[in-house]
Amino acid sequence: MALPLRTNLKHFLCFIQRFNPLKRRFCAAVCPENKQPPGSARVFSGIQPTGVPHLGNYLGALENWVALQNQYPSVLYSIVDLHSITQAQHPDQLRNNILDMAASLLACGINPEKAILFQQSQVSEHAELCWILGCLTSMPRLRHLPQWKMKSKEKNEGSVGLYTYPVLQAADILLYKSTHVPVGEDQVQHLELAQDLARIFNNRYGELFPEPRALLSSTRKVKSLRNPVTKMSKSDPQTMATISLTDSPDDVALKIRRAVTDFTSEVTFDPETRPGVSNLVTIHAAVAKLSVEEALSQAGGMDTGAYKGLVSEAVIQRLTPIREEIQRLRADRAHLEGLLAQGKHRARELAAPVLAEVRHRVGFH
């Protein structure tokens, strides 16, 4: 009996991903293997220690991280400080940022009993595997990745660390034999490098690494409050553009009140022609756990000025307990350092045997 058309399509996309990397994102979204995490599934993701995250980080990634720790049997979240030094960092500021990020992740709901939370540089296996994988990676393969193209243009001349950044990302993922990686669409090509390197290593030295799959987030990206066609970013020079998780209620209200909209007073959702007000609807829907349609229904009869007040209330209500918990955790550095030390030991228990096997297969011992 013939299989239904949709079933055939799913398997066809899974088959052609081997030959065309551009199809992988579609396969990751529809392949039946992704619908239920198998018992051996492992999730890995990392975040740079840039201090306290902003609202876009929380809604776009961290909220999903909290959900994943309850859905998968093995989850690792890393504060990727090795990645962060591709840009100049003041040592004292970096130390503080690492602890601030740990406090923020815990306050957002990451549970160290359900997920391994650790500092990347404290697990030296990451750097060693990066070197080994780098020796399997061609220069042209890295040259065409979006991170290098974008960042090297900004700096006129990028560092070797920036150039090999995606190889370290691949090492982060493969070191734990991760099967799933939550990514945004802008990171899919970097995940494809990890998939390629898993295949290259397996073909040369024997089967060892699973090919990690993308867990694409369905959350809409939160945009800048001052320039709503770009992503909300901590590095934005306009202080009114970004809401930090530790902003006071007054600061949140002020930033939303000054958010760029347009000259039409009605609240509608049309990201192409009305990006400013649409960004407010996206934020409102996400923090209040509503659909866009439900958010618009609550805005019925309001002009954009009044709607900004409603959005402010929703954001403040959502962020207040997180802000208070970050402040509480920040005050106890020893507790944060202890949790990261525990995470380091748990991560190394997984990483050390994998790297030992890699070293043996490569011929180091």
Query: For the chain, how many residues are written?
Result: 365
Annotated active-site residue in 234, 255, 289, 308:
234
Q: Which residue, 215, 221, 320, 306, is CA-closest to 261?
A: 306
Q: Which residue of the set 23, 114, 151, 221 is catalytic?
A: 151
234 is catalytic: yes
CA triple 334-340-346, angle to 5 deg: 140
**What b/e sequence results for 328-349 when a residue is b if at least 16 CB atoms lie within 10 Å of its CB, and e otherwise?**
ebbeeeeebeebbeebbebbbe
The answer to whether the CB of 182 falls within 8 A of the CB of 45 is yes
Rounded Cα distance between 116 and 255, Å, is 35
Report residue 266 CA to chain centroid gap: 34
Rounded Cα–Cα distance for residues 317 and 284 (Å): 11
SS3 content of the chain, % helix, strand, coil (to 5): 60, 10, 35
Residue 155 annotated as catalytic: no
CA distance 183 to 11: 23
Tell me, rounded to whole angstroms, the distance of Cα 60 from its chain centroid.
8
Q: What is the dihedral of CA 42, 362, 21, 162, to 10 degrees?
A: 90
Residue 108 to residue 127: CA distance in whole angstroms: 29
Catalytic, 23? Answer: no
Catalytic residue among 23, 114, 221, 231: 231
User: Bridge-partner residues for 22, per DSSP?
Assistant: none
Q: What is the set of active-site residues?
A: 151, 231, 234
